[in-house]
Chains A and B, each alone.
Chain A
């Protein structure tokens, strides 16, 4: 059976260590001009599927059966697949910021794919990276900006096959719309095919011609209406905080005033690059403040973090936005989640293991992952482990930076429900997000623009 053109994948089977089958993966046919979305719960194998199609699996994973046809021709694994990837595909990987060369500027990163500088600059502007950012290197960009630079890199050479893995995970809705427009522009062009993996339902609905669902997606339960727990005492009070960029002259944020009460969830919204991450990191003591101060339940928070006494450290826990490096690759999950228990709660080993299992279950993970290392977990699973690690300390204030960005809608609901439960026990949550679903469940929403926080 040959259907002309497009991408056709059938009978893919991937084996892991010792030759055991890891997964039999869905078949797919994407006709020329189509945009096909792959969705499903995190850990269902979407990223593995993409790697199997591209013949770019990491050992010990191996593709042991199945065919991939491109424009009617079979792409054999090995050198043929490598040449095909180079000539015909543009790829945006998860955690795109880490795929950018640290020494290249934004525009050079895009031009590196073989396009000239003006085309590179146009593509960057198309995804909302304006000229003032073109000369920056990746460490001078925010997570969302870096993701769009990587996207421009994939788009610039107008590849016949474009593959996007979570293209909008770090983007606010305005930026996501620009990305959606860039993807829609490819629709209907008979020379090109686009595949994308995304948890963002709105994004998928606006750009995809059809959707392939991986795994059995548990139906997302309707969000529990967030009952505001009885107003508690103020947990966090921030007075006139000023944050500078490292080495920068203009302040990143100034005169930040905010309070978070016990049991309250406050969301911080803002375009990418506005300083959401820096604000949360500085409250965690990981970024210096230039002026102002903050109090936790009446106690002044010292800076930097190493000057904070143990009780304050335990009370403030931070969960970062990059699932790729949030867990130590050398440590098993049980070790990672158990470490705060050892530091702050000094339980015996058996008690620790039981608590670790309970925490993993609460964040919606199978306790069996406790024996694995992060390399065997998907981005969404790692993010939930990081949340479990933060909750293990039994904090009073949780600083959550885009913690739902790598999650599918069902897991997002699980995590938000969990935070809701914890809030009943008095946990205060300060969450940076661009996801309206998350912001909707917050008690208050603060926005950042023009270097200030607005109530």
Chain B
């Protein structure tokens, strides 16, 4: 096994651990993440590795349990936004004329509107998770559409597309069988990029109190709750912030690695 393969194996293990902890960390939590255990904002030690939070709950348990809702929401939002964007990009890149213009105009209009405003409007009208998905679609799908559309335009006249036309294959079939695999490398990085945006939106909305209702553990809710005690128990503020950063970086890197892997010649 070469160094390169060893590195890849290590990276896959790391990324799997990060995602596994974000989704199923509550199983490893040493205490009930919602039960007060002692004095508020006590420093680490005495059975609480990272100290306690504003209501005296164990910070470590809350960090382990607090990523699930965010990750699932952001993951669903990323998949929906990337799927809509890729489908739109395939159509916009393949067709000339009204359909392509319509799709590009719609994408441009959505991009011109401020994303946070859209997200806030959704947040007050829809349940939290649905608002994140809808806002990610509005903010992310147009970007994916443009990127995928350009990639499709580049391969639209390639020899392998001519060959498929020469076999009498229909437009949808060529898009699905020839063009989508050829631009599949983009899909991985697009899903990764949309996940990061969705995670930011979900965290921002949750920070405004539009996320899961207390006392459910949630990283951004933890940041809001523990800001005032930062001097007494810095870990209660820093730990959820680091968890958010590590999760979004990992997913972004996984997306890019997937794209590189798909492009790699045998």
* A393→B169 CA distance, assembly (Å): 14
Q: Which residues of B contact A305 (CB under 8 A)?
A: 165-166, 168
Asked if residues B159 and A327 are in contact (CB atoms below 8 Å), the reply is yes
B174 to chain A, nearest CB (A): 10
Asked if residues B160 and A373 are in contact (CB atoms below 8 Å), the reply is no
A24-50 vs B, Cβ < 8 Å mask (1 yes, 0 no): 000000000000000000000000000
Asked if residues B264 and A343 are in contact (CB atoms below 8 Å), the reply is no
Among the stretches A113-121, A251-259, A309-317, the one at the interface with B is A309-317
Asked if residues A284 and B166 are in contact (CB atoms below 8 Å), the reply is yes
Is B23 part of the binding interface, using a Cβ–Cβ cutoff of 8 Å?
no
Q: Across the two chains, which residue of chain A brings its CB closest to B164?
A: A339
Asked if residues B265 and A375 are in contact (CB atoms below 8 Å), the reply is yes
Interface residues of B in 129-180 (CB under 8 A from A): 155, 158-160, 162-170, 178
Q: Across the two chains, which residue of chain B brings its CB closest to A320?
A: B159
Is B125 part of the binding interface, using a Cβ–Cβ cutoff of 8 Å?
no
A308-334 vs B, Cβ < 8 Å mask (1 yes, 0 no): 101001001110101001111111000
* A361→B265 CA distance, assembly (Å): 23
Residues of A in contact (CB 8 Å), total: 42
Asked if residues A375 and B167 are in contact (CB atoms below 8 Å), the reply is no
Which one of B167, B182, B265 lies within 8 Å of A339 (CB-CB)?
A: B167
Counting chain A CB atoms within 10 Å of each CB, the highest count among B1, B163, B165 belongs to: B163
Asked if residues A330 and B184 are in contact (CB atoms below 8 Å), the reply is yes
* A337→B58 CA distance, assembly (Å): 62
Asked if residues B182 and A328 are in contact (CB atoms below 8 Å), the reply is yes
Interface residues of A in 319-360 (CB under 8 A from B): 320, 322, 325-331, 336, 339-340, 343-344
Contact size class for B?
A: 20 to 34
Counting chain B CB atoms within 10 Å of each CB, the highest count among A18, A19, A329 belongs to: A329
* A328→B163 CA distance, assembly (Å): 10
Is B181 part of the binding interface, using a Cβ–Cβ cutoff of 8 Å?
yes
Asked if residues A310 and B168 are in contact (CB atoms below 8 Å), the reply is yes
B209 to chain A, nearest CB (A): 46
A231 to chain B, nearest CB (A): 28
B164-205 vs A, Cβ < 8 Å mask (1 yes, 0 no): 111111100000001001101000000000000000000000
Q: Which residues of B contact A238 (CB under 8 A)?
A: none
Asked if residues A19 and B184 are in contact (CB atoms below 8 Å), the reply is no
Asked if residues A326 and B163 are in contact (CB atoms below 8 Å), the reply is yes
Counting chain A CB atoms within 10 Å of each CB, the highest count among B159, B168, B266 belongs to: B159
Q: Across the two chains, which residue of chain A brings its CB closest to B157?
A: A325
Which one of B168, B182, B265 lies within 8 Å of A306 (CB-CB)?
A: B168
Q: Which residues of B contact A310 (CB under 8 A)?
A: 168
Which one of A18, A306, A320 lies within 8 Å of B162 (CB-CB)?
A: A320
Which one of B155, B182, B264 lies within 8 Å of A60 (CB-CB)?
A: B264
* A143→B192 CA distance, assembly (Å): 38
Asked if residues B181 and A373 are in contact (CB atoms below 8 Å), the reply is no
Is B13 part of the binding interface, using a Cβ–Cβ cutoff of 8 Å?
no
Which one of B5, B159, B164, B165 lies within 8 Å of A386 (CB-CB)?
A: B159
Known contacts A308-B168, A340-B167, A393-B167: A18-B5 contact under CB 8 Å: yes
Q: Across the two chains, which residue of chain B brings its CB closest to A59?
A: B264
Is B4 part of the binding interface, using a Cβ–Cβ cutoff of 8 Å?
yes
Asked if residues B169 and A376 are in contact (CB atoms below 8 Å), the reply is no
Asked if residues B4 and A18 are in contact (CB atoms below 8 Å), the reply is yes
A417-433 vs B, Cβ < 8 Å mask (1 yes, 0 no): 00000000000000000
Known contacts A18-B5, A375-B265, A375-B266: A326-B159 contact under CB 8 Å: yes
Q: Which residues of A contact B167 (CB under 8 A)?
A: 313, 339-340, 343-344, 393
Q: Across the two chains, which residue of chain A brings its CB closest to B263?
A: A329
Asked if residues B166 and A325 are in contact (CB atoms below 8 Å), the reply is no
B188 to chain A, nearest CB (A): 13
Q: Across the two chains, which residue of chain B brings its CB closest to A344?
A: B167
Which one of A286, A330, A336, A371 lies within 8 Å of B166 (CB-CB)?
A: A286
Asked if residues B166 and A318 are in contact (CB atoms below 8 Å), the reply is yes
A389-424 vs B, Cβ < 8 Å mask (1 yes, 0 no): 110010000000000000000000000000000000
Is A239 part of the binding interface, using a Cβ–Cβ cutoff of 8 Å?
no
B residues engaging A (CB < 8 A)?
A: 1-2, 4-5, 155, 158-160, 162-170, 178, 181-182, 184, 262-266
Known: A59-B264, A326-B160, A327-B160; 19 extra A-B contacts, CB below 8 A, are A18-B4, A60-B264, A284-B166, A286-B166, A305-B165, A313-B168, A318-B166, A320-B159, A325-B160, A326-B163, A327-B159, A328-B160, A328-B178, A330-B184, A331-B160, A339-B167, A343-B169, A375-B265, A386-B163
Give 14 CB contacts A-B under 8 Å.
A18-B2, A18-B5, A60-B264, A284-B162, A305-B168, A313-B166, A322-B159, A325-B159, A326-B163, A327-B160, A329-B263, A330-B184, A372-B266, A390-B163
